């Protein structure tokens, strides 16, 4: 799987026609039904080595947890690269699966999200409801 996109307009759904796409659709449906906390279908994004490192770091953020961009930069041992890390998060093409929605501002604000801040809020609230513990910050 190379990308997951949100669509704002109604579209005609075309049935998944490959085993990988069927698995991705199944796991995304399970996520939205509150039955899946981790995705395990194969993923691959095009990006620089730095972007790959940023996206790998995102995969370590647990379901229902959040970290700040500053905390992510510390985890990556790049404390001065906050803006570059935020930019790489914004170039993530595997929304939800690579959970860039779990990265928030140091003050707890829901700063930018390429798919819309309202979606970021919804995803975090969904995960809080499913986990039953509310949003937990790691920073």
Active site residues: 100
Eight-state DSSP code of residue 79: T
The residue behind tokens 């669509």 is: 7
The residue behind tokens 């647990």 is: 62
Question: How far apart, in whole angstroms, are the C-alpha atoms of residue 10 and residue 28?
Answer: 18
Question: How far apart, in whole angstroms, are the C-alpha atoms of residue 102 and residue 18?
Answer: 30
Q: Which of 32, 30, 59 is nearest to 44 (CA)?
A: 59
């Amino acid at each position: 799987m190379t990308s997951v996109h949100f669509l704002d307009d109604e579209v005609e759904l075309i049935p998944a026609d490959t085993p990988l796409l069927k698995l991705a659709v199944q796991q995304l449906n399970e996520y939205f039904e509150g039955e899946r906390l981790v995705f395990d279908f194969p993923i691959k994004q095009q990006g620089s080595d730095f972007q790959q490192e940023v996206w790998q770091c995102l995969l370590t953020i647990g379901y229902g947890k959040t970290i700040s961009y500053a905390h992510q930069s510390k985890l990556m041992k790049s404390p001065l690269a906050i803006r570059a890390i935020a930019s790489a998060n914004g170039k993530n093409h595997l929304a939800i699966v690579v959970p860039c929605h779990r990265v928030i501002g140091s003050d707890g604000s829901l700063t930018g999200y390429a798919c819309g801040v309202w979606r970021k809020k919804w995803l975090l609230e969904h995960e809080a409801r499913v986990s039953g513990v509310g949003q937990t910050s790691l920073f």
